[in-house]
Amino acid sequence: MSTILVADDEKSMVEMLEIMLQREGYEVITAHSTDEAIEKIGKHELDLVISDMKIPKEGGGAVLRASLQRERTRPVIMITAYASAESAVEAMKMGAYDYITKPFDVEKLKLTVKNALEKRGLVLENLNLKKELREKSGIKEMLGNSAALAVVKDLISRVAETNSTVLITGESGTGKELVAKAIHAFSQRSGKPFLSINCGAMPEQLLESEMFGHKKGAFTGAANDKMGLLEVASEGTFFLDEVGEMPLSLQVKLVRAIQEREIRRVGDVKDIKLDVRFIAATNKNLTETVKNGSFREDLFYRLNVVQIELPPLRERKEDIPILARTFLEKFNAQNSRNIQSFSKEAMKMLEDYHWPGNVRELENAIERAVVLEAGQWISPESMPESLRFPSAEALAVSVPTGGIDMELHIGEIEKQMILSALKMAGGSKKEAARLLNMNLRSLRYKLSKYDIK
């Protein structure tokens, strides 16, 4: 049964619509102001929203926006006064599915509602099919709820439907390959191959013949004709990993492939038509490599049609808990372990660390912890050394531009460390001294020096 929200401040109108729609077999929820409507949009699973354009306080536009924000594909029908064609046009521009004018023709209203729900059914079915396909193809979900990652996910879904070349940039281990696979999986090409090549991993000649293929006898060792990966990827997606490492001579061939959509096997004289979507990734700053001459500017512009930048994990720390928990589940299963969760201190360590190797490093750290941990909870002791003993760099110790009074600064750091050790030790000086790897006498001396009681 479909559920419909009817929002209008005019009580008789709401009642009339409610009775009529219920008679058609729909479940009806009502609201009499924008606040109430928005609250109910957040609370209920709705299939359709019908709202008056002039509903107080903020008007039907606010209801429309709230509904679209929550679910982009849910239809919203606006009710407008007969005289006001303008506001109807505006509602349509804002993304309303349709509008009906007051006083309305009951039959026409029923039909509009029926069509809107039918269309929604089709959209949902289509989304479900796509989701099923993705799950079958084993595509991993991009985990994380940070705003930064939401921007990335939004870009993925928008760019997937197009054929645009995409350049994915970001530090090592941020998920560039995962993004490339997601774009393919969400695209019309998802039933076709996704192939990739690491442009920095093999010698130039081999890379060339792998990508473009070769004719028999094109070079010593070319005993047969060979199809290149670009041809094999026909109608699918081709992922150029570490594209910044590609040798200059091959860059010329790649520009031609992208621009003319034609390739030629090594040693061949005829061209082959190419239908692939290119996605490239790099952890280098390509603008720099263009400046120093190791990357062609024309190739850079061809690749950089849409750029997706993956932020480092340290800039989206709110993603760490969900990633850590998911990895914990994964490695629990792989190692037949049943570790419940992370101790508070261990989780804090994960959140405080600067993760130069990003998500991959986090994944490795959790795998190691699962293997080493003897208890029910992951404790700080099973964390890698890099987390337990952060380097000076990780502690962000650097001289500010204006200079610094080093002695004073180090004194302050020393004082804070002692306080923190005392706290961890529950006030025990002996234990604090142990944590700080100093003897009790030195600790006592420092305590009096810094006037710590």
Ligand X SMILES: Nc1ncnc2c1ncn2[C@@H]1O[C@H](COP(=O)(O)OP(=O)(O)OP(=O)(O)O)[C@@H](O)[C@H]1O
Residues engaged in binding Mg ion (CB under 5 A):
177
Query: Residue 1's closest CA among 46, 44, 67, 49?
Result: 46
255 binds ligand X (CB under 6 A): no
244 binds ligand X (CB under 6 A): no
CA angle 368, 369, 374 (to 5 degrees): 125
Nearest-approach distance from CB 282 to Mg ion, in angstroms: 10
Which residue, 63 or 197, is less far from Mg ion as judged by CB?
Answer: 197
173 binds ligand X (CB under 6 A): yes
Nearest-approach distance from CB 293 to ligand X, in angstroms: 23
Q: Are 433 and 447 in contact (CB under 8 A)?
A: no
Query: Residue 235's closest CA among 189, 186, 188, 184?
Result: 189
Q: Which residue is nearest to Mg ion (CB)?
A: 177
> Residues 60, 61, 75, 175: which binds ligand X (CB under 6 A)?
175
- Structure-token pair, residue 288: 């720099």
Query: CB under 5 to 8 A by kind: which of ligand X, Mg ion, none does 363 bind?
Result: ligand X
283 binds ligand X (CB under 6 A): yes
**Contact set for ligand X, span 354-383 (CB under 6 A):** 359-360, 363
> Residues 61, 144, 228, 311: which binds ligand X (CB under 6 A)?
144
Q: Which residue has the tokens 């479900």?
A: 128
Measured torsion, CA atoms of residues 5, 11, 16, 21, in degrees rounded to the nearest 10: 10
> Residues 73, 172, 285, 341: which binds ligand X (CB under 6 A)?
172
- Structure-token pair, residue 361: 């490093």
| Contact string 292-331 vs ligand X (x = CB under 6 A) | -------------------------------x--------
140 binds ligand X (CB under 6 A): yes
Angle between helices 60-70 and 34-43 (to 10 degrees): 10
28 binds ligand X (CB under 6 A): no
* Listed ranges 16-24, 73-81, 170-178, 407-415: which one lies at the site for ligand X (CB under 6 A): 170-178
Nearest-approach distance from CB 199 to ligand X, in angstroms: 12
Query: Residue 353's closest CA among 379, 391, 382?
Result: 391
> Residues 40, 74, 120, 176: which binds ligand X (CB under 6 A)?
176
Query: CB under 5 to 8 A by kind: which of Mg ion, ligand X, none does 360 bind?
Result: ligand X
Q: Are 6 and 16 in contact (CB under 8 A)?
A: no
Which residue, 130 or 140, is less far from ligand X as judged by CB?
Answer: 140
Q: Are 78 and 96 in contact (CB under 8 A)?
A: yes
The DSSP output letter for 266 is B
268 conformational bin, left if phi > 0, alpha if psi -120 to 50, beta if neither: beta
Q: Are 330 and 324 in contact (CB under 8 A)?
A: no
What are the backbone dihedrals phi and psi of residue 213, each rounded to the nearest 5 degrees, phi first? 80, 175
Which residue, 300 or 327, is less far from ligand X as judged by CB?
Answer: 327
First to last CA, the chain: 69
- Residues in contact with ligand X by CB under 6 A are 140, 142-144, 170, 172-178, 283, 323, 359-360, 363
